[in-house]
Amino acid sequence: MVGQSSFGKRNLHDFETFEEAYHQFILDIIQQQVQSTKLVLKNKPVKKLFVDGGFSKNDVYMHLLAAAFPHIEVYSAKVAQASALGAAIAIRRAWNSEPLPADLITVKRYEPTYDIAL
């Protein structure tokens, strides 16, 4: 079950640098994200995962997410409100018959560059 982040229970004096604490914080968040995502996926054959919002701009988070799901292509959306835009695209035929522009959404793919144990 997904609960509070483990980071709240950590002693900040155990970290030698801000960077070390920050990376542990992101790892703890990734652990929660993996648990939550697995609940949603329920072993379905998902091939691509798209992330939007603030964390989509965090390269550390995105690389760790890609490492956590090495068999799924992980992308960040480079457009504001990508989820809302995706919903509009899904229903657009009800109000717009024009073809979609090819450059409507730009995404960046993140590769699993290293292994992490969660």
In sequence order, what are the residues at sequence separation of 6 or more whose Cβ sits closer than 8 angstroms to the Cβ of residue 69?
A: 34, 37, 49, 112
Say what the pLDDT of residue 2 is: 62
Residue of higher predicted confidence among 64 and 96:
64
Report d(CA 7, CA 22) in Å as an integer: 10
pLDDT tens figures, 12-51: 999 999 999 999 999 999 999 999 999 999 989 999 999 9
Report d(CA 115, CA 47) in Å as an integer: 19
Residue of higher predicted confidence among 86 and 58:
58
> pTM of this prediction?
0.73
pLDDT tens figures, 70-88: 999 999 987 777 778 878 8
Say what the pLDDT of residue 14 is: 94
In sequence order, what are the residues at sequence separation of 6 or more whose Cβ sits closer than 8 angstroms to the Cβ of residue 112?
A: 63, 66, 67, 68, 69, 70, 74
Sort residue 53 into left (φ over 0), alpha (ψ -120 to 50) or beta: left
Given pLDDT bands bounded at 50, 70 and 90, which one contains residue 110? very high
Q: Please state the domain extents for the chain.
A: 14-110
